[in-house]
Structure 1
Amino acid sequence: MRRKIVTGLTALGLSCITLFATGGSASSHGQTTAPVSRQQLCYQHTVRNCGQIQWEPWSVEGQKGFPTRGPADGHLCSGGIGRFGELDNMRGGAWPATSLRSGQSYDFVWRLDTPHATSKFHYYITRDGWDPTAPLTRAALEPAPFLTVQYGGRMPTRSTIHPGTIPAGKSGRHLILAVWDVYDTANAFYACSDVQLG
């Protein structure tokens, strides 16, 4: 009887080790910190009632190929991951927003907990007249990225900075969608940042 209990506990222990080795934050990667992303705001507890994303803001990983592929409309900020759906909740346009000026130079910053060989980073902004209370769709974004940084398989640093320019001629509340395409997998990381353009 004692031998059966020990064997059972050993098997249970191995199962737990396997579970922790293959799931959870072992797949963590990165998020934008400037302009501050929704997942970073949740992680810092600046925004409450965020669900699971507050514990793993670096894990918003979905299919790459945006805008032709990738997460479905309405699920862009969560990367299409159901447990991070709070990121897609527009909260009536009440997410805290970074104050910026259209046309200004700006350093876009990613914090990469686990850097990967990278194809590119690309940044999109909402069109004039978009509805900040409606779920984010491709139609709400300008069709072309305003900034693309090609890596060609190179490895970015843990603190990755992309100098760019905020698109000119825009004002009011907008949203920036940043996408990080991994080079050697089918995935990308997504981050939404709310901005107020003066």
Structure 2
Amino acid sequence: MKTNRKLVAALIGAAAAPVIVLVGPTGIASAHGYVNSPASRQAQCAKGVVPCGQIKYEPQSVEGPKGLRSCNGGLAQFAELNDDNKGWKATPTGTTATFTWTFTARHRTTNYEYYIGGQKVADISGNNQQPPATVTHQVNLGGHTGKQKVLAIWNIADTGNAFYSCIDLQVG
């Protein structure tokens, strides 16, 4: 009798768990997307290429208000992403680079912007659509050569926020 009660309790628990997960309260998602290739600063942190703090655990979390021009999206806990002397590895590329965004939560997208030294080199429409799990853009780097830091911004359509990634390149 005791064994039957335990078995019934285990079966009820196993059956209820998926329902509880689906209808239970959800936390606020703070993880959404970043440039994975060429390896952005947060991707380099996540891969252990450069020693970093908390960003290594959540490279997709650099979210801040639209309109910023910083690598850390205005988040103090990710300030090291703004440090140009941290030893970031620059990926060699030609005068056109291919950037691949990886999304862990996909938002309708206004556009993607790319900057070098404060100058916008690309603005690509997101057509107010939800992107697939990865998106790739070919960006003309506008005649820039040598070591360059590209700021890539994903402006989402359903909030006032954007996601920020800086990518170090050796353009030649």
Q: TM tier, shorter chain?
A: 0.7 to 0.9
Give the whole-Å Cα distance in 1 for the aligned partners of 2:129 and 2:145: 35
CA deviation after TM superposition for structure 1 residue 101, in Å: 2.1
Aligned residues between the structures: 148
Superposed counterparts of 1:129-140, under 5 Å? none
Residue 42 of structure 1 pairs with residue 45 of structure 2: yes
SS of structure 2 residue aligned to 1:83: helix
Report deviation, 1:21: 4.1
RMSD: 1.7
How high is the TM-score relative to the length of structure 1?
A: 0.70
Residue deviations 1:59-113 (CA, integer Å, cap 9, x gap):
000001x2xxx36xxxx11100011111112226x310011122x3x32110011
Question: What residue identity is the alignment partner of 1:63?
Answer: P
Whether contact under 8 Å (1:173, 1:196) holds in the other structure is yes
Deviations for 1:126-179, whole angstroms, at most 9, x for unmatched residues?
Answer: 2xxxxxxxxxxxxxx22xx211111231111111111232222x2211100000
Q: Which residue of 1 aligns with 2:56?
A: 54
Amino acid at match of 2:35: T
| Structure-to-structure mapping, 1:1-198, within 5 angstroms | 21-22=26-27, 26-48=29-51, 50-64=52-66, 66=67, 70=68, 76-91=70-85, 94-102=87-95, 104=96, 106-126=97-117, 141-142=118-119, 145-168=120-143, 170-198=144-172
Q: Tell me the percent identity.
A: 36
- Counterpart secondary structure, 2:105: coil
TM-score under structure 2 normalisation?
0.80
State the alpha-carbon separation in 1 of the partners of residues 27 and 85 from structure 2: 33
Extract unaligned runs of 5+ from structure 2. Answer: 1-24
Please say which structure displays the higher CA radius of gyration.
2
Deviations 1:45-72 (A, max 9, x none): 1111x110000000000001x2xxx36x
Distance 1:84 1:21 in 2: 25
Tell me, yes or no, if the aligned pair for 1:152 and 1:183 is still in contact at 8 Å. no
Could you tell me which runs of 5 or more consecutive residues in structure 1 were left unpaired when the two chains were aligned: 1-19, 127-140
Q: How big is the shift at 1:35?
A: 2.2
**In structure 1, what is the equivalent of residue 20 of structure 2?**
none
SS of equivalent residue, structure 1 residue 27: coil
Quote the offset at 1:197 in angstroms. Answer: 1.4
How far 1:115 moved relative to its partner? 0.8
Structure with the larger strand share: 2
In 2, Cα distance between equivalents of 1:45 and 1:34: 15
